[in-house]
Amino acid sequence: MRKHLAEAQEIEQYLLANMSAPARLVFQARMLVAPALREKVKYQRKTMQLVRWLAREEKRRQLDTLLQQMLQDKPFNDSITSIFK
């Protein structure tokens, strides 16, 4: 794997807490002295958060579509809406 991809892999292991304790300490020490690495970690963390955020948004859309379809069924619709009357 090319060097920069290996670095992305190393950052991933750090962010997913898949590093041994000594390796984690070494990595944190490297971040302290390397602003470029620190910045890559920051943006890779944001990327992983974004992936999760977008996946949840998509899941919400899928579930909403399912519910809208199910609410076309009158008995089911009534069983929910009658609770709030």
Partner 1 sequence: MRTPEDQWLEDLYRNTLPRVAAMVYRMGGHLEMAKDIFQDAVIIYLEKQQAQKLPPGVPAEAYITGIARILSIRKLKKSGTAVSLDEMTGEISVPADYYAPPPVSRPVLDYVRAAGKRCLKLLQAFYYDHHSLTDIAADFNFKTPHSASVQKYKCLEKVREQIKQSDYAETLS
* Contacts with partner 1, residue ranges (CB under 8 A): 1, 4-5, 8-9, 12, 39-40, 43-44, 46-56, 58-60, 63-64, 66-67, 70, 76, 79-81, 83-84
User: Tell me, what DSSP letter sits at residue 19?
Assistant: S
In the bound state with partner 1, the residue whose beta carbon lies nearer, of 25 and 54, is: 54
Counting other chains too, the contacts that 13-22 makes at CB distance below 8 Å and 24 or more residues apart are 14/41, 15/41, 15/44, 15/45, 15/48
- Least distance CB 19 / partner 1 (angstroms): 16
The region that residue 17 occupies, defined by phi over 0 for left and psi between -120 and 50 for alpha, beta otherwise, is: left
- Least distance CB 10 / partner 1 (angstroms): 10
Q: Which of 33, 32, 27 is nearest to 7 (CA)?
A: 27
In the bound state with partner 1, the residue whose beta carbon lies nearer, of 22 and 57, is: 57
- Least distance CB 26 / partner 1 (angstroms): 21
